[in-house]
Amino acid sequence: MSNQNLVALGTITRREVMRILRIWTQTLIPPAITMTLYFLIFGGLIGSRVGKMGGLDYMEFIVPGLVMMSVIQNSYGNISSSFFGAKFGRHVEELLVSPMPHWVILAGYVAGAVLRGLMVGAIVLCIAMLFTRVHVPHPLVTISSVLLGATIFSLAGFVNAVYAKKFDDIAIVPTFILTPLTYLGGVFYSISLLPGWAQAATHVNPIFYMVNAFRYGLLGSSDVPLWVAYALMLGFVAVLSALGLWLLKRGVGLRS
């Protein structure tokens, strides 16, 4: 990587991080409040009546899912709103005509979104520690799975922002696709509770694999083989990265 590309990558990433920190009351605090309510209602009130789930206390069981859910939602939301805002303000055209490679533009925006996801995830994990103990038996699995999950949905948010024509288009995917997939991805329950047809349908949900890989890292328990989860996540990263670079190269939705 040349010094020029490194400076460009750092500049885009720093701008994204400063944007997150500048409006921290909108980017970091609301997810923390929402997840605290999840822990209080689902973990505290309902969890005490549910008992064990997958051999674990229910409060302990939902921690990985809630952390991963916050990471996914915030990574996706950050890049989709930020890149579309740059597109709406015609800032992207300046990037496209600059000598920096397309991968630098994509990596800079993705890095900013991943960092926001990790910041929110860390806040949610700290909140979880107020309600239950978190042991982290497999730290490498924990870190790698959350990084891959954040990267996947940052790339997906980038694709959404490229194709979006108005601000309302950004909300369609999170509302009608991302939220249902998250809630049906094993965040609040073990797949073993479901009938056969529902288990088969859950195995089509990519978020299910991300949640279980992260749960294995935090708790040592998973409903799917770890290698399957990693193969799927790495596959999504490769496909979405290639798609994002192709969209930038072709200028799809970016050049008027």
Q: Give the pLDDT confidence of 183-209 residue by residue, as tens digits.
A: 889 888 888 888 889 899 999 999 999
Mean pLDDT value of segment 148-163: 95
Q: Cα separation of 88 and 168, whole Å? A: 13
pLDDT recorded at residue 256: 54
pLDDT score of 136: 86
Summarize the confidence of residues 85-92 as an average pLDDT. 82
pLDDT tens digits for 89-132?
877 888 888 888 999 999 999 999 999 999 999 999 999 988 88
Average pLDDT over the chain, rounded to an integer: 89
| 58 or 227, which is more confident | 227
pLDDT of residue 244: 94
Given pLDDT bands bounded at 50, 70 and 90, which one contains residue 143? very high
pLDDT 10s digits, 237-253: 999 999 999 999 887 77
Q: pLDDT over 90 for what percent of the chain?
A: 53
